[in-house]
Structure 1
């Protein structure tokens, strides 16, 4: 199973949010490039990056940082945050990222998702951010009134290469991921699923490994706060 340490970028710094709340954020001293280097030095192969500035503006605000990370380290990167058009997808794929995550734009416009999957085969990941079973959009500030599983059934044949499923109520809370809901998603999904939100211990990693159609898991705040040691986490990489 793949383990994706997370880097959230805001104002050129590494930050972590609680339940996606920009007013409830913790800034960390390491720069995003230094943090990526730390993960690389510990033997991680994959990296999950969210451009929070991009999520707010809809622009590729931190493209230069992403390019520097790709150039310096041999890491497979998935990047998300406010990616709303083909131009942004192209910029990231040109920069060398492995997967581009579409979220709000794909949920608001299913045709955009379908066209993106056709135009960028095997490059598009779909970010499903859910609260109480319903998808949220626009930096989690809006409820889309769409049930997660209903939406997934509608787009299941579009050619998405990966799904990142996040339970917003768990994100940044270190209360363990919502494995029940994630399992429901992974059971019907035509592509593998990444678990996101709430990872608190190595036990969560072990549970994730026992589930079907799970490609990997994202670990964020638990690393930054020292609850999970990087040396221990790298032993869980398959």
Structure 2
């Protein structure tokens, strides 16, 4: 199980939103690169970055901040937000992003996702954000009629490296992960699933380490890490112990 610390970028700063509302943004660090270094120093293995402005604009907006992060850490970084074409995918992969996350475009142009997967095996992730079980796009501003499982199954044979599943109704409010819906998605497809939205405490980490959650690739944590509700040292210690027990 990988615990991904999240850096959400808005206007060049590291923020967290409440329920995906850009007007409900709390700035936690004005220096995203410094935040990335801090996460790496704590022992995290993989960083999750989202260009929030980009998700709304449909094009990268916080590119300078992302590049500063890449220059600051050695751990792999996955990036989403505003990446809507093959050129954009290839640009970021060329700059050192390990995996690109495609969200809105996965719904709008699934053929592009398939093409990207063929060109870059193991480096394309699909982001599925859901509100009330329905897929939300355009920075969560629009909700479609498609369910999360219906969208995920469209990419079953595409070569997608993983699915990041975010429950918008849990995001940024520290209510705990929606384990039930996340596991339902993970059981419905062969693609590895990463849980996102609501991770609040060590209890969530312990839940993720129970046997039924072993099918998940990992989980993303944001606000709980920033406000101290989730102790990074203790969380990573639990994860290491669970790995050792399995080995």
* TM-score, structure 2 normalization: 0.92
Distance 2:227 2:13 in 1: 16
Q: Partner residue of 2:230?
A: 228
Q: Partner residue of 1:166?
A: 166
C-alpha offsets along residues 82-107 of structure 1, whole Å, 9 cap, x if unaligned?
A: 11001111111011111100001111
Q: Partner residue of 1:61?
A: 61
Q: Partner residue of 1:105?
A: 105
Q: Where in structure 1 are there 5+ consecutive unaligned residues? A: none
Distance 2:123 2:63 in 1: 17
Alignment CA distance shift 1:235-1:30 (3 Å) = farther
**What are the equivalent positions in structure 2 for 1:5-84 lying under 5 Å apart?**
5-84=5-84
* TM-score, structure 1 normalization: 0.96
Give 1:230 shift: 2.2
Equivalent residue for 1:214, pick from 206, 216, 225: 216
Would the aligned equivalents of 1:187 and 1:212 in 2 still touch at CA under 8 Å? no
> Number of matched residues?
238
Give 1:30 shift: 4.2
- Which stretch shows the higher mean deviation, 28-37 or 14-23? 28-37
Distance 1:236 1:125 in 2: 26
Give 1:234 shift: 2.5
Q: Partner residue of 2:3?
A: 3
Give 1:72 shift: 2.4
Indicate the SS of the match to 2:7: strand
Q: Where in structure 2 are there 5+ consecutive unaligned residues? A: 241-247
1:114 matches 2:119: no
Q: Which runs of at least 4 in structure 1 moved beyond 6 Å after TM superposition?
A: none
Would the aligned equivalents of 1:54 and 1:61 in 2 still touch at CA under 8 Å? yes
The alignment yields a C-alpha RMSD, in angstroms, of 1.3
